[in-house]
Amino acid sequence: MRKKFVAGNWKMNPNYPEALELLKYLNINVPKDHSNVDILICPPFIYLSEAKNIFTRPDIYLGAQNASAYTNGAYTGEISSTMLKSLGIDYAIIGHSERRQYFGESEEVLAKKIKLCLQENITPIFCVGETLEQRNANEQFEIVKKQISGALYDLSIEQIKKIIIAYEPVWAIGTGVNATPQQAQEMHTFIRNMIMNKYDDVVSQNMIILYGGSVKKDNAYELFSMPDIDGGLIGGASLKGEEFVSIIATAMNIVNK
């Protein structure tokens, strides 16, 4: 039985005082009895160590929004998975569409990042998803297949077990237009089947597959209720403490139903 998983991706927001306020709010207000829902917050790198101090609760996990494809050395501006691990960070978002689109990250680079995260025992949350143009051309399955096979298929069965996949259709990110539960479910089934065909049924059934793209408290229930949607990777709504807590509560209700 897979757990639900609710993750907040703050992206390049907010400023330092606002970040402190939000972290403190979450530390107090995230429900404590969420044993069937894992909770992850991914603030910008510079707030991670402060977040470690503010979270007095080991039940709220912290993740990075990226990790370098290099281990250490002369790579100005980069943060390595080794550095993240040394701070006690357990998750990293890898291959977000914004990284692909604005920073030119290829499947080859992403495959390196994933391997380095795994070496450090950091769980990569690997993001995939098609653009609107690709969906309009009915290419979404082909695109997601290429993204998954390009970055993950070199992994061993032991390694793939540690991966979380997030399906984030680009057209749904930050637009207020979420994929319908049916559209998301269809893609999640497709992804689960890919993992089954490449690896095995047990790995595929245990894999956490998140949906991301305009998840809000008002649509979380219908999305997270779908059988292959294990929770959400939440952008804008994770910056509002109350709304994010309400999304967590929704996931808890589904699990406890």
> 44 in helix, strand or coil?
coil
Q: Whose Cβ is closer to ligand 13P: residue 96's or residue 192's?
A: 96
> Left, alpha or beta for 3 (phi > 0: left; psi -120 to 50: alpha)?
beta
Residue 188 falls in the annotated catalytic set:
no
Asked if 168 is an active-site residue, the reply is yes
- Residue 231 sits in the site that holds ligand 13P (CB under 6 A): no
What are residue 6's phi and psi, to 5 degrees? -120, 120
Using CB under 6 A, count the residues that bind ligand 13P: 14
Asked if residue 251 binds ligand 13P (CB under 6 A), the reply is no
CA–chain centroid gap for 132, Å, is 20
Nearest Cα residue to 179 out of 139, 227, 232, 142:
232
For residue 215, state whether it binds ligand 13P (rule: CB under 6 A). yes
Residue from 213, 247, 251, 252 in contact with ligand 13P (CB under 6 A): 213
Binding mask of the shown chain, residues 88 to 127, with x at each position contacting ligand 13P by CB under 6 A = --------x-------------------------------
173 binds ligand 13P (CB under 6 A): yes
- Angle 151-154-158 from CA coordinates, rounded to 5°: 110
Kind and range of the H or E run holding 205: helix 201-206
Residue 9 interacts with ligand 13P (CB under 6 A): yes or no: yes
Closest CA to 165 of 111, 194, 125, 195: 125
Given 98, 105, 120, 168, the catalytic residue: 168
Mind telling me the catalytic residues?
96, 168
Residues of this chain that bind ligand 13P (CB under 6 A): 9, 96, 168, 173-174, 212-215, 233-237
